[in-house]
Structure 1
Amino acid sequence: MFERFRKPFTPDYDHAQADLQLRSARDRATAGDWTAALYLLQTTGRDWELRSRRLAVLGIAAGHAPHWVDAWEAAIPGDPTVAILRAEGLTELAGAARGAASARHTSAEQFQEFHRLSALAAAAAQRAVELNPDDPYPWVTRIDAMFADGHQRHDDFRIALDGAVARDPFHFEAHLMAVSFLCQKWYGSHEQMFAAARGPAAAAPAGASVCMLPLLAHFEYALREFGFETRAESLAAKMEYFHRPEVIQEIAWCAGKWRAAGEPRLIARGVTLRHWLALANHLSGQDRAGTRTLLAHIGSYLGSTAAYGYFWMRQAEGFEAVSKWARQ
């Protein structure tokens, strides 16, 4: 009876998720006060994971509304952070031009624009690398720009990955990019993908975000092997894979190591990783009570959690399905 009176499911799609300081700074910047973004990044310091996430979200805004970055550059010519935002903005536009559909459902015109913008992003990312010698994130942006021609860029990919991890050995975005680049649907294989996920997860200290990367590898594997084109229609086969004992065991290991240093923070990648774990629990049928706790931490913050789209046609549909399961 009470389900009839439950509030409608209204996810929050803001890419900043729980980082309210980031939301405020981005909104002030796009409204004309670019110094808000500058100050936010200055106060972030050398917290590389948080800085990277904030740069990524600001970069989305830079791609679609670059006027505030233009004003920043006019006020501080040659600012290294502006170079990162330029590269991120072009990468965002390249991804938007291609779209999220599989290759067979992507037009030649979409691919052409994806390649054109990716080439511009690659040049901008290289400039950002040169202007930010200590920061690992421009190297990640450089990898991101390689997705348009990755078959010819494996050597460059390795150089860029090495550049990022030389500055931060367990940099989440760098290793996340490696898992994505080396998955079978892009430029690698299942074996390469799992190695890219499990290696840093095993080597990292307790509490590191990279401890959760094997979950993404399992999502990618299930997507590719059990209905790449059909998504939700093949959900039963994908869920059967997640019921395998070895998969359940690895999910539990990842979650345990991630939490071993205390409750992970919500900002940076904290919300996304909670989504991953809630999704893995749902698919494997494990820890419904624990998933309710995860969802209480998440609240309505969805942002863009691409893993839901591996199993449902819309991310919000997956978020709602996991939430309903947890409440049962």
Structure 2
Amino acid sequence: MGLFARLTRRRNAGGGAPGLTIDPAHGDPELTLLRERAAAGDWPGVRAVLDRALDQDDLALMISHLADHTGSESWLGPALEADPEDPVTLLAYGARHIHWGWEARTGARAQYVSEEQWRTFHERLEAGEELLFKAAELDPELLGPWLFLQMSGRGASIDRAAARYRFDAALRRSPGHPASHRQRLQQLCEKWSGSHEQMHSFARASMLAAPEGSPLGELVALAHIEHWLALPSGEDASYMDRDPVRAQLHEAADRSIRHPDHLRRRNWPQAHNTFALAFYLAGQPHAANLIFQEIGGAVCEDPWNYLGGDPVDTFRRIRAACA
């Protein structure tokens, strides 16, 4: 059994590593407040936080946190009934429908998803898309609808031209938006009818087109992780062990999270966690360890959940191996 398998095969019986936990807000006061008010079903309080968003990227991030909150549909619906022409409420309720749809589908492979799950999945996606298109029509400057329409489009298997249109619409509103680029990368993955070549080409082109210091270098690391995941045991390790892969990872880190112009926004740990795993898989424990030191306790669910088991336990084990 290889080192990676030994490190990740056991799950902590307590559901995670001592001293570590996943904080989706990464300690950010505004995101923490948003999530607390969402948990209380306090739409006016939630809306007050949304109204303080720094820009369209920030608003889309806040809406993502809101959409991920289980049960938020129970009070977002009445909020929309009270103000059916408000684009932000439409965006929030539409985004929740998209997440709600994926929750019904689950992350299981298609052959293990029941007919009832598929029906619920598509019903919620369809309802969410209607809300999102209306939000976009009422406020053409909104970025959020086009982010979540990429998520729903992949689930609905829309054609390539339509998928590209939704991504381009997001970029017209925010050219360097990391979450939209991640969605596009997923669309181009082999598992979603794309190819490794398309995926890597997109990741590198996006990185090079962005200013140095941009978080888009993460796409290169994420593409290599996706490629690794798609390979059978043995071939996966050989792929990550190649010098060109390591060189590309270092180049991407130098142009993004290791660049002096890199600006940490609310969700900065996401790219750092991705690079930490990619460098570990590529046999670069020193590079990974330096990133783990920057991460501290800001562990993200992604990409560690790709590996199975408890993501916090996996993070702890790999961090220890790199140290």
TM-score computed with the length of structure 1 as normaliser? 0.85
Residue 22 of structure 1 and its aligned partner are, at CA, apart by: 0.7
Which residue does 1:230 correspond to in 2?
Answer: none
Which residue does 2:67 correspond to in 1?
Answer: 59
Measured in 1, the distance between the counterparts of 2:176 and 2:292 equals 26
Unaligned 5+ segments in structure 2 are 1-15
Measured in 2, the distance between the counterparts of 1:274 and 1:322 equals 14
Q: Is structure 2 residue 169 aligned with structure 1 residue 163?
A: yes
Residues matched between the structures, number: 307
Partner deviation per Cα, 1:241-289 (whole Å, 9 max, x = no partner): 2111010001001100003244541622x1111101110111112142x
Which residue does 1:245 correspond to in 2?
Answer: 243
CA contact (8 A) 2:80 2:90 kept: no
Measured in 2, the distance between the counterparts of 1:70 and 1:112 equals 21
Match of 2:18 among 1, 9, 19: 9
Q: Which amino acid aligns with 1:224?
A: A
5 Å-filtered alignment, 1:131-210, equals: 131-150=138-157, 152-210=158-216
Which residue does 1:24 correspond to in 2?
Answer: 33
CA contact (8 A) 1:25 1:37 kept: yes
CA contact (8 A) 1:93 1:117 kept: yes
- Provide closer, same or farther for how the CA distance between residues 123 and 71 of structure 1 changes in structure 2, counting only shifts above 3 A: closer
Which residue does 2:294 correspond to in 1?
Answer: 297
Which residue does 1:231 correspond to in 2?
Answer: none
- Provide closer, same or farther for how the CA distance between residues 172 and 90 of structure 1 changes in structure 2, counting only shifts above 3 A: same
Residue 324 of structure 1 and its aligned partner are, at CA, apart by: 1.5
RMSD of aligned Cα (Å): 2.3
Q: Which amino acid aligns with 1:188?
A: G
Residue 107 of structure 1 and its aligned partner are, at CA, apart by: 2.9
Q: Counterpart of 2:264 in 1: which secondary structure?
A: coil
Partner deviation per Cα, 1:145-194 (whole Å, 9 max, x = no partner): 112231x4322111111111111112111111110011110131112212
Residue 322 of structure 1 and its aligned partner are, at CA, apart by: 1.7
**Could you tell me the percent identity over the aligned residues?**
26
Measured in 1, the distance between the counterparts of 2:103 and 2:52 equals 30
CA contact (8 A) 1:212 1:255 kept: yes
Structure 1 segments, 4+ long, off by >4 Å, are 74-77
Q: Counterpart of 1:64 in 2: which secondary structure?
A: coil
Q: Is structure 2 residue 47 aligned with structure 1 residue 38?
A: yes
CA contact (8 A) 1:41 1:51 kept: yes
Which residue does 2:9 correspond to in 1?
Answer: none
Partner deviation per Cα, 1:102-147 (whole Å, 9 max, x = no partner): 2233333322322222222222221222123112221111111112
Unaligned 5+ segments in structure 1 are 1-6, 227-233
Match of 1:49 among 35, 38, 57: 57
Partner deviation per Cα, 1:213-243 (whole Å, 9 max, x = no partner): 01111111111123xxxxxxx3x54233211
Residue 76 of structure 1 and its aligned partner are, at CA, apart by: 4.5
- Provide closer, same or farther for how the CA distance between residues 90 and 136 of structure 1 changes in structure 2, counting only shifts above 3 A: same
Measured in 2, the distance between the counterparts of 1:135 and 1:114 equals 25
Which residue does 2:266 correspond to in 1?
Answer: 267
Q: Which amino acid aligns with 1:119?
A: E
Measured in 2, the distance between the counterparts of 1:218 and 1:41 equals 35
Measured in 2, the distance between the counterparts of 1:52 and 1:11 equals 27
Which residue does 2:118 correspond to in 1?
Answer: 111
Q: Which amino acid aligns with 1:171?
A: H
- Provide closer, same or farther for how the CA distance between residues 108 and 76 of structure 1 changes in structure 2, counting only shifts above 3 A: closer
Q: Which amino acid aligns with 1:138?
A: P
Measured in 1, the distance between the counterparts of 2:110 and 2:74 equals 33
